[in-house]
Structure 1
Amino acid sequence: MIIIEFKAYGKPLQYQAIDEAIRTVKFIRNSCIRLWMDNKGTGKYDLSKYCKILAKEFPFANKLNSTARQAAAERAWSSISRFFENCKKKVPGKKGFPRFQKHCRSVEYKQSGWKLSPDKKSITFSDKKGIGKLKLKGTWDLWRFDKKQVKRVRIVKRADGYYVQFCISIDVEEQLDPVDATLGLDVGLKEFYTDSRGNTEPSPRFYRTGEKRLKFYQRRVSRKKKGSSNRKKAVNRLGRQHLKISRQREEHAKRLARCVIRSNDLVAYEDLRVKNLVDP
């Protein structure tokens, strides 16, 4: 399973429709969590049936595609099942009791409610939320994959815009020539990692580099009046800076991981968990 992401472009009314769909997903998920809390023994299929009840009771929930409602219920059940698994495994510390979601950033469709254009450069969402046709811009070649391979489509909202993700069912295999080398890695705080050969990779410290800009944007947010449009703009600029730092960290980790994997036949590392180092 791979995920291919594209930047989505549309009109302001379409962006408002996406925001409304995301709020509806949050409402359905929180409603399923409440149903599980109030009724002992509620299972996964009970949450799926509850989506139909919500659609009949609330018109705004009925406008959302049925598969998107089912995906929202699955999100709720994943948090519940994770809590049960942590209790069975006796994970030290907090077990992750399901909580109501305050912020939601995505809406997920299964294999209905959307349609790709013949050139696969745009996608149309056909539910009653009014999202409509969105242009796709990216570097990936989506036309190489058949529509049947696309199992889910997700619209994600970030600080710099909206993105469409395609979950494609395919096994990616890359044949590498053996190099007859093994390596052990130890992740640290001062260095990014230290290998068994004594080599160290310095920590990039992207957060420390961008901390000055973060403080600047945070002060701009604190000076704006709550609820004003200027405060929303300041919050967006702050979010963009955080997004930039997270992308820098992710790309740096990908580059290093690719180099380590291609230059060694076997890589051993410690599955370090901070929870296991602290007494409950």
Structure 2
Amino acid sequence: MLVIEAKLKGTRSQYSKLDEAIRTGQFIRNSCLRYWEDNKGVSRNDLQKLCSKLAKNKETPWAGKLNSQARQAHADRAWAAISRFYENCRLGKQGLKGYPTYKKFNRSLEYKNTGWALSADRKQITFTDGFKAGTFELWTSRDLVWYSEKQIKRVRVIRRADGYYAQFLIDWNRQETHEFKGEIVGIDLGLKEFYTDSNGETVNNPRYLRKSEARLKKLQRRTSRRHIKGKKQSKRYHKARKALAKQHLKISRQRKDKAVKDALALVKSKDLIVYEDLKIQNMVKNHHLAKSISDASWYQFTQWLHYFAKIHGTIVIAVPPHNTTIDCSVCGAKVQKTLSTRTHQCGECKTVLDRDMNAARNILSKGLKLLAGYLNGTEGHSETDPFMGERSGTA
């Protein structure tokens, strides 16, 4: 599946109609969730039927304006949250099970095959449901003219801090050629350096959030000063709020751009990549490191790593991180270290290495053992498939 994003250029009245459609989609989803809570044995089909009832109900006339397939898409969103909760309960997941919650500030709307139409040159889109948002210009660096409307499975409208966007989900099997050279590498994700590989090469950690903290604090103070509790907010407040949101959006885009470029460069240059499967959700519970861990955006990087590995036909393996820092990569002896210790010094074999490079070599060794066991049929199948890069990469 290929996703192409384009900015929607229209008038203020058109944007307000898109807002109405988005709020209606939120109402549909929340209504489906309430129906599930009030009735036992509710199925996905029952939620689909509820959409039709809401559209015909005289008390909710606005629901009928939304395209029927868009209503069904929001019912599917509600059911996805419900089924995920059931799955977590069935598997006995530790901690919170992810009970479905009501949405208060929904920012997206999803159409399937109807409710929209593209112009012949694919540079304009018209929304044809009851809200009559009209025709918008599409601003994008990707040309949609190469894809037919049958290939576009869904159109998602997203409201962001800097405007409205349309995402086109296209049925396209993307494959890239890869020149195999037998290059293998293990990478150790870190905070000082974004990652260090088993060859000693490093990629710097840009720390986008840290660099923007002064600007964010200034915008946050300005927004707080202009907020009046219990009263309707002024235009000055909303102006400050939007400026703050745009700064956060800029940081988010910087992280994504960095993750995409680093992952693509690594996949293009290597044939086998091994990384440690860090439990980031648990790591951010450390309040001293939570901000730095979130700023590094390791999870986003590994997701793009799997995606590019799939389309390039290479292998990405995730291995458990246990003892990768402590073990000596040469003799296997245990060498205890604190977070401030940046050099690995083995008392057994007298090896002296950078701490992260030693960990990267241990990670590579674990990955090769896991791969050998998998190929020989001696490695059992775990709940998380370590080879999901070549089978189920996601963007």
TM range (shorter): over 0.9
Matches within 5 A, 1:220-231: 220-226=222-228, 227-231=233-237
Residue 277 of structure 1: how far off its partner (Å): 7.0
SS of match in other structure, 1:148: coil
Residue 38 of structure 1: how far off its partner (Å): 1.1
Matches within 5 A, 1:145-224: 145-224=147-226
- Report the equivalent of 1:5: 5
Provide the C-alpha distance between the structure 1 equivalents of 2:105 and 2:188, rounded to a whole number of angstroms.
35
- Report the equivalent of 2:53: 53
CA RMSD, Structure 1 to Structure 2 (Å)? 1.5
Relative to structure 1, is the Cα distance of residues 243 and 17 closer, same or farther in structure 2, using a 3 angstrom cutoff?
Answer: same
- Give the unaligned 5+ runs of structure 2: 286-395
Count, aligned residues? 279
Residue 276 of structure 1: how far off its partner (Å): 6.3
Moved more, 265-274 or 119-128: 265-274
Matches within 5 A, 1:96-111: 96-111=98-113
SS of match in other structure, 1:3: strand
Encode CA deviations 1:115-150: one digit per residue, 9 max, x unaligned. Answer: 000011000010111211011011101000111000
Residue 233 of structure 1 is aligned with which of 217, 239, 244?
239
Provide the C-alpha distance between the structure 2 equivalents of 1:278 and 1:172, rounded to a whole number of angstroms.
35
Encode CA deviations 1:63-103: one digit per residue, 9 max, x unaligned. Answer: 01001100010110111111112222222221111000111
- Give the unaligned 5+ runs of structure 1: none
Provide the C-alpha distance between the structure 2 equivalents of 1:5 and 1:211, rounded to a whole number of angstroms.
29
Provide the C-alpha distance between the structure 1 equivalents of 2:21 and 2:36, rounded to a whole number of angstroms.
23
Provide the C-alpha distance between the structure 2 equivalents of 1:244 and 1:260, rounded to a whole number of angstroms.
24
- Report the equivalent of 2:23: 23
SS of match in other structure, 1:147: coil
Amino acid at match of 1:8: L
SS of match in other structure, 2:37: helix
Runs of 4+ in 1 over 4 A off after TM superposition: 275-279
SS of match in other structure, 1:119: coil
Amino acid at match of 1:134: F
- Report the equivalent of 1:39: 39
SS of match in other structure, 1:211: helix
- Report the equivalent of 2:248: 242
Q: Contact 1:92 / 1:276 at 8 angstroms: preserved in 2?
A: no
Q: Contact 1:92 / 1:275 at 8 angstroms: preserved in 2?
A: no
- Report the equivalent of 1:266: 272
Residue 151 of structure 1: how far off its partner (Å): 0.2
Provide the C-alpha distance between the structure 2 equivalents of 1:239 and 1:51, rounded to a whole number of angstroms.
33
Provide the C-alpha distance between the structure 1 equivalents of 2:84 and 2:173, rounded to a whole number of angstroms.
26
Q: Contact 1:2 / 1:168 at 8 angstroms: preserved in 2?
A: yes
Provide the C-alpha distance between the structure 1 equivalents of 2:82 and 2:218, rounded to a whole number of angstroms.
39
Larger Rg: 2
Residue 208 of structure 1: how far off its partner (Å): 0.5
Amino acid at match of 1:247: R
Residue 53 of structure 1: how far off its partner (Å): 1.0
Moved more, 9-18 or 175-184: 175-184
Q: Contact 1:2 / 1:167 at 8 angstroms: preserved in 2?
A: yes
Provide the C-alpha distance between the structure 1 equivalents of 2:160 and 2:281, rounded to a whole number of angstroms.
30
Amino acid at match of 1:216: K
Structure 1 length normalisation: TM-score?
0.96
- Report the equivalent of 2:87: 85
SS of match in other structure, 1:179: coil
Residue 275 of structure 1: how far off its partner (Å): 4.8
Provide the C-alpha distance between the structure 2 equivalents of 1:12 and 1:63, rounded to a whole number of angstroms.
20
Relative to structure 1, is the Cα distance of residues 221 and 21 closer, same or farther in structure 2, using a 3 angstrom cutoff?
Answer: same
Amino acid at match of 2:241: V
Provide the C-alpha distance between the structure 2 equivalents of 1:276 and 1:15, rounded to a whole number of angstroms.
40
Residue 133 of structure 2 is aligned with which of 113, 116, 131?
131
Amino acid at match of 2:251: I
Amino acid at match of 2:204: P
Moved more, 186-195 or 140-149: 186-195
SS of match in other structure, 1:151: strand
Q: Contact 1:51 / 1:69 at 8 angstroms: preserved in 2?
A: yes
Provide the C-alpha distance between the structure 1 equivalents of 2:203 and 2:93, rounded to a whole number of angstroms.
32
SS of match in other structure, 1:7: strand
Provide the C-alpha distance between the structure 2 equivalents of 1:69 and 1:172, rounded to a whole number of angstroms.
30
Amino acid at match of 2:35: L
